Chain A
Amino acid sequence: MTDIPLSITEAATQLRDGSLSSADLTAAVLQRADRLDGALGTYLARFDDRAMASAEQADADLARGLDRGPLQGIPLGIKDIIAAADGPTTANSLVLDEAWGAGRDAPVVARLRAAGAVITGKVTTMEFAIGAPDPSKPFPLPRNPWDTRTWPGGSSSGTGSGVAAGLFLGGLGTDTGGSIRLPAAFCGVSGLMPTFGRVPKSGCAPLGYSLDHIGPLARTAEDCAAMLQVLAGYHASDPDCADLPVPDYAATLGSGSLEGLRIGVHRVHEGQEGTDPAVIGAFDAAVAVLEGAGATVVEVVLPYYEEMIAADMITMVSEALAYHLPDMRSRWGDYFEATRSMVVQGAFCSGADFVQAQRVRRVAVGALASLFETVDVVATPTASVGSPAYDDSGRLPLDMGRLFGQIYTPYWDSVGNPALVVPMGFTTAGLPLSLHLGGRPWDEATVLTVGHAYQQTTDWHRQVPALVTEPVAA
């Protein structure tokens, strides 16, 4: 059986030195999915035949000297709120119109295809990127490869679990309050939320029009850089998409030195109830690694921290309810219970509340820019806990208010800055912990450089769940 490389970068090297073909790689990941997906609930739809055809085409193109870049021949998964021509998009819901996006590629998917990537299928998401799993609905429960009794995080659940288990080497997620970064954190892989507007989000069912970001999950920061290189850039179909040059992210990754870089450390997790005992030590050790690489570390406090959590919530539920209200009126029961109970809270916000949230976002953007005159990256843990467990009924005992207090992601959605997460250790129960690196607007290059440097010295990102190598119980 073909050994599956851990990362896109490793696979790209092997595809070019002839030690691996995309056809063999794709067949291997599909075989692994045959073995593990029943336990993981990663896929909603698989495109095996088309994936193999794409893989064979990638091999043929490489053989005749046509090299489209590091994603050529690489199997990738797509979060099922993003349209792909291979099959219908469901948003993990009974509600989404089957005709929406049918036969069409979202711009991000079209760009991946043009880069020669192999699209293996559509993967599980929280319903419309917000609703916690509901065992009463006909969709798989997504499970964490590190402990299948637990949740892989969300909302890009299948993308996180699929990368961690090697069912594909990278994938697309979306992030409105943390939905790229949280599954990456809980599954022990890397994830990048680009600057708002860096990547076109047309062709993606919206959750928060002014909060949604599409971005990559993959094994490493280097892999995320390779994916961002393909995804980023203006598209006229997205009014929020910035018409700005796209840097060469690979060229600026560096070799591991952080000399001259200033890392601000916000100890938001300290003193919080329920913090896993391993978090503080793991975070301190991660900061020490960055310092050892040459960075200057200073203590900081993110400005308007609680206000940006509030702004993310008010904005998200208001924008989501605008989108969902017609269907909620006629198909309330078809929605997941958690989806409808979250989205309907937009009815508790006034128009003035929504506008005020946008005014305070502008204030915070300005204050954060002042902070970034003194530092280049701000580091926090991604969460103060590992992934929560399902109860015996298959439900997550999630109190969203409590969860928002234990994850440190929504701030960055409200301000729109880029943020990268990378694995940094394990909880006392053996579940992944994650380091969160926030940067200046449009400066994905610096957060990627810091993440890459961290991964030159540590090997948390190379850890693989035991499930991957152990026989699956009958």
Chain B
Amino acid sequence: MSISTTDGQPGTSEVAVRAALAAAGVTPSEAEIEGLVAGYDRVRSLADLLHAVPAARYESPGLHFDPTPVFADWG
């Protein structure tokens, strides 16, 4: 999706990108934002692919929180 629509208004993806970047508190250049719009579209298509997997409807994510305190450093 191009960074602006034919009437010069920002496209939906560009609006979403700018909002996400503002919420994250980061400051890419305008040139970078243009590239990130394409990245946004790709990420959303990937997420949509995952949300459309029927077999995952009742699957658990396998994220484990272990309340047992284990304080082991490395090195």
Contact = CB atoms under 8 A, between A and B. Distances in A.
Contact of A363 (B42, B59, B72, B74): B59
- Contact residues of B: prevailing secondary structure: helix
Interface string A60-87: 0000000000000000000000010100
Contacts of A110: 75
Contacts of A344: 21, 24, 26, 28, 36
Contacts of B46: 309-310, 313-314
A367 B24 CA distance: 36
Given A329-B26, A358-B62, A310 B49 contact: yes
Interface in A297-330: 304, 306-307, 309-311, 313-314, 317, 321, 325, 328-329
Given A237-B72, A347-B21, A363 B56 contact: yes
A337 B32 contact: yes
A313 B50 CA distance: 11
A362 B27 contact: no
Interface string B17-47: 1001101111110001001100110111011
Interface size bracket, B side: 35 or more
Contacts of B47: 310, 314, 349-350, 353, 356-357
A355 interface: yes
Given A203-B75, A341-B35, A357 B50 contact: yes
Contact of A328 (B26, B40, B43, B73): B26
Q: What DSSP secondary structure best describes chain A's contact surface?
A: helix
A47 interface: no
B61 interface: yes
A350 B47 CA distance: 9
Contacts of B39: 341, 345, 348
Contact of A237 (B27, B50, B74): B74
Contacts of A345: 36, 39-40, 43
Nearest to A344: B26
A347 B20 contact: yes
Given A310-B49, A348-B39, A360-B53, A329 B21 contact: no
Nearest to B19: A347
Q: Which of B16, B24, B60 has the most CB of A within 10 A?
A: B24
B26 A359 contact: no
B43 A235 contact: no
A223 B55 CA distance: 40
B50 A356 contact: yes
Contacts of B40: 345, 348
Given A307-B53, A329-B25, A341 B75 contact: no
Given A329-B25, A347-B23, A353-B50, A358 B63 contact: yes
Given A104-B74, A203-B74, A329-B26, A360 B32 contact: no
B70 A239 contact: yes
A89 to B, nearest CB: 11
A355 B27 contact: no
Contacts of B59: 359-360, 362-363
A86 to B, nearest CB: 12
A133 interface: no
B7 interface: no
A341 B27 CA distance: 11
Nearest to A342: B39
Nearest to B54: A363
A237 B73 contact: yes
A106 B75 contact: yes
B43 A348 contact: yes
A341 B43 CA distance: 13
A50 to B, nearest CB: 17
A443 B61 CA distance: 24
Contacts of A355: 61, 63
Nearest to A317: B43
Contacts of A85: 75
Contacts of B20: 347-348
16 contacts: A107-B75, A235-B72, A236-B70, A237-B72, A307-B53, A309-B46, A310-B50, A332-B26, A344-B28, A348-B17, A348-B43, A357-B47, A359-B53, A360-B53, A360-B59, A362-B59
Interface of A: 83, 85, 101, 104-107, 110, 200, 202-203, 235-239, 304, 306-307, 309-311, 313-314, 317, 321, 325, 328-329, 332, 337, 340-341, 344-345, 347-350, 353, 355-363, 367, 401
Given A235-B74, A358-B62, 16 more contacts: A105-B75, A110-B75, A304-B53, A310-B46, A311-B50, A321-B24, A328-B26, A345-B39, A347-B20, A347-B21, A348-B17, A348-B20, A350-B47, A356-B51, A362-B61, A363-B59
Which 9 A-B pairs rank lowest in CB-CB distance, beginning with the nearest?
A104-B75, A358-B61, A236-B72, A310-B46, A237-B74, A202-B74, A347-B24, A347-B20, A353-B47
